[in-house]
Amino acid sequence: MAIADVAAGIKSVHHWIGGKLVPSESGRSGVVWNPATGEPQAKVDFASVEEVDQAIQIAQRAFVDWRATALSRRSETMFKLRELVDANRRRIAELLTLEHGKTFPDAMGEVARGLENIEFACGVPQLMKGGFSEQSSRGIDVYQIRQPLGVVAGITPFNFPAMVPMWMFANAIACGNAFILKPSERDPSVSLLLAELVKKAGVPDGVFNVVQGDKVAVERLLAHPDVKAVSFVGSTPVAKSIYETATRNGKRVQALGGAKNHMLVLPDADVGMAADAAVSAAYGSAGERCMAISVIVAVGSVAEPLIEAIRVRMARIKVGPGMEEGNEMGPLITRDHRDRVASYVANAASEGASVAVDGRTDAACHKSGFFLGATLLDHVEPGMRCYNDEIFGPVLSIVRTNTYDEALRMINENPYGNGTAIFTRDGGAARQFQFDVDAGMVGINVPIPVPVAYYSFGGWKASLFGDLNMYGPDGVQFYTKAKVVTSRWPDPGTSKVDLGFPQSR
């Protein structure tokens, strides 16, 4: 079993190093809450510097053999992992709901989107193909190969404890690297179930490791010379600091940060469809998605009918524990986070916004879990805290504008640039928006445009620090480095000394 019961009757979540569970000896740990009940449900180890060093050393040793393993064998292993994750979807999703709180169907969706990345990585022999130029000069060929980096680390957020690790480790391992995952300390158990499946698939011990913990573990990963690359997903201040520290230490880094995703609705949009999309994208997973829609920019006359259609749909959202059938929105991750989100609702009126629907009055808020109902804020404007900050909860803001240009300017002036969407029936307007907007992922009548696994995921501006996006083709590029070989097999009869600079013609 990945999680062992300890004497206190509460589960302990350990590290996974060298193909087995390793309890921490650091003496430090954190509480894992059950967000649906408000009770603690596990204790998670926090790694010491020495434990992180041990994981890196084991990974470094495992890397030597793994990078020499045939591509076809690595591909076969990914196919096996694909089958195992597929067969264990429900187990992963249940564990995820238990610790994160999101509804079970939503958790199943998360697993499915993570699995896509393993499917992509099955094609690693094709993905790692280099290039070859015959006869670059007489008798000389030039070719480029791609090689793995070594030990690479992934530091992941609480909101996708299965999918985001799979975004990273599927490509990292398939490309021949050894991987160290530092999951969120708030929902750490899924990482151990994934580790079991990775081992079962035949990935050699030490190639995939999990180090549980907090910033002590992260800081060591950023400093250790044997960690060659760092993938991070989390909030913007941490992403920025990780990018700065790790690049200063000579590592390759992709650090994805927070978001404030705007959905622009033009007056010609289908109001029912736009309202369905807004409610789904704002309140799914209780708004704890980096691609959640948190601002609707309603242009002109569409505002009133759209808000009315949104209100009707909000009234039907069922809030409650994620494992109870029929519930559509679960609790938030912790009590502190719930209270922080609720404080934006409490302050909205004093900032000049109006609270059109107050989620604090939802019946679920009387339960002991970390619940908060869906909230709609109207007449929000840039400059208000509820607009400026990433709230990361079930709070949707409406900003009203008179023109497309005004709406576009607002989106482009926002410091974040993760996802955005336009709702319209006008193809020309949609194409213009796609051309104009400063964001990395754009939806046209699609509210959550998370790219499929054979494209790459990444925002612009304060939503991503680094040059390469996550997963897909960029993922393969991130986890490999190019080597160019210039080769000649001369006829010894033509060989001579020539001190001139090599010419190609």
Catalytic residue among 122, 175, 290, 386: 290
- Helix then strand count (H, E) for the chain reads 16, 24
Q: How far is the CB of 452 from ligand NAD (least distance, A)?
A: 15
Which residue in the set 104, 160, 371, 433 belongs to the binding site for ligand NAD (CB under 6 A)? 160
Which residue in the set 74, 182, 228, 262 belongs to the binding site for ligand NAD (CB under 6 A)? 182
Q: Which of 319, 293, 329 is nearest to 418 (CA)?
A: 293
CA angle 439, 422, 397 (to 5 degrees): 85
Q: Which region among 74-82, 122-130, 187-195, 252-260 touches ligand NAD (by CB under 6 A)?
A: 252-260
d(CA 421, CA 443): 4
Is 159 among the residues that bind ligand NAD (CB under 6 A)?
A: yes
Pick out residues in 261-300 that bind ligand NAD (CB under 6 A).
290
Is 459 among the residues that bind ligand NAD (CB under 6 A)?
A: yes
Is 185 among the residues that bind ligand NAD (CB under 6 A)?
A: yes
Instruction: Tell me whether residue 155 or residue 317 sits nearer to ligand NAD (CB atom).
Output: 155
Q: Which two tokens stand for residue 88?
A: 């264990």
Give the amino acid at 366: H
Provide CB contacts within 8 A for 137, sequence distance 6+: 502, 503, 504, 505
Which residue in the set 235, 247, 249, 432 belongs to the binding site for ligand NAD (CB under 6 A)? 235
| CB count in 10 Å sphere of residue 145 | 15
Instruction: Tell me whether residue 74 or residue 100 sits nearer to ligand NAD (CB atom).
Output: 100
Which residue in the set 35, 150, 188, 234 belongs to the binding site for ligand NAD (CB under 6 A)? 234
Is 59 among the residues that bind ligand NAD (CB under 6 A)?
A: no
Phi, then psi, of 70 in degrees rounded to 5: -55, 145
Give the sheet arrangement for strand 140-148, strand by strand.
131-137, 140-148, 480-488
Q: Which two tokens stand for residue 121?
A: 């990585």
Alpha-carbon 261 to chain mean position: 15
Q: How far is the CB of 437 from ligand NAD (least distance, A)?
A: 17
Which residue in the set 47, 128, 256, 391 belongs to the binding site for ligand NAD (CB under 6 A)? 256
Residue closest to ligand NAD, measured at CB: 234
Q: Cβ distance 232 to 155 under 8 Å?
A: yes
Pick out residues in 350-379 that bind ligand NAD (CB under 6 A).
none
Q: How many residues bind ligand NAD (CB under 6 A)?
A: 26
Pick out residues in 381-440 that bind ligand NAD (CB under 6 A).
390, 392, 418
d(CA 107, CA 413): 33
Phi, then psi, of 123 in degrees rounded to 5: -90, 25
Is 155 among the residues that bind ligand NAD (CB under 6 A)?
A: yes
- As beta bridge partners, residue 208 has 179
Provide CB contacts within 8 A for 339, sequence distance 6+: none
Is 156 among the residues that bind ligand NAD (CB under 6 A)?
A: yes
Radius of gyration of the chain (CA): 25
Is 115 among the residues that bind ligand NAD (CB under 6 A)?
A: no
Which residue in the set 12, 48, 463, 477 belongs to the binding site for ligand NAD (CB under 6 A)? 463
117: helix, strand or coil: helix
Q: Which region among 103-111, 251-259, 301-309, 361-369 touches ligand NAD (by CB under 6 A)?
A: 251-259
CB burial readout 289-326, b (16+ within 10 A) else e: bbbbbbbbbbbeebbebbbebbeebbeebebbbbbeee
Give catalytic status of residue 290 as yes or no. Answer: yes
Which residue in the set 28, 67, 113, 215 belongs to the binding site for ligand NAD (CB under 6 A)? 215
Instruction: Tell me whether residue 292 or residue 430 sits nearer to ligand NAD (CB atom).
Output: 292
Instruction: Tell me whether residue 80 or residue 335 sits nearer to ligand NAD (CB atom).
Output: 335
CA torsion sign, 170 to 175 to 176 to 179?
Answer: negative
- As beta bridge partners, residue 270 has none
Q: Cβ distance 331 to 371 under 8 Å?
A: yes
User: Residue with structure tokens 């009770």?
Assistant: 39
Instruction: Tell me whether residue 51 or residue 390 sits nearer to ligand NAD (CB atom).
Output: 390
Is 184 among the residues that bind ligand NAD (CB under 6 A)?
A: yes
CB-count exposure of residue 136 (10 Å: 0-12, 13-18, 19+): middle
Q: How far is the CB of 418 from ligand NAD (least distance, A)?
A: 5
Q: Residue 267 gets which letter from DSSP?
A: T
Q: Which region among 116-124, 257-265, 318-326, 348-356 touches ligand NAD (by CB under 6 A)?
A: 257-265
Q: Which region among 94-102, 152-160, 341-349, 424-432 touches ligand NAD (by CB under 6 A)?
A: 152-160
Is 88 among the residues that bind ligand NAD (CB under 6 A)?
A: no
Pick out residues in 18-57 that bind ligand NAD (CB under 6 A).
none
Is 472 among the residues that bind ligand NAD (CB under 6 A)?
A: no
Q: Which positions lie near ligand NAD, rule CB under 6 A?
A: 155-160, 182, 184-185, 214-215, 218, 233-235, 238, 256-259, 290, 390, 392, 418, 459, 463
Q: What residues are labeled active site?
A: 290
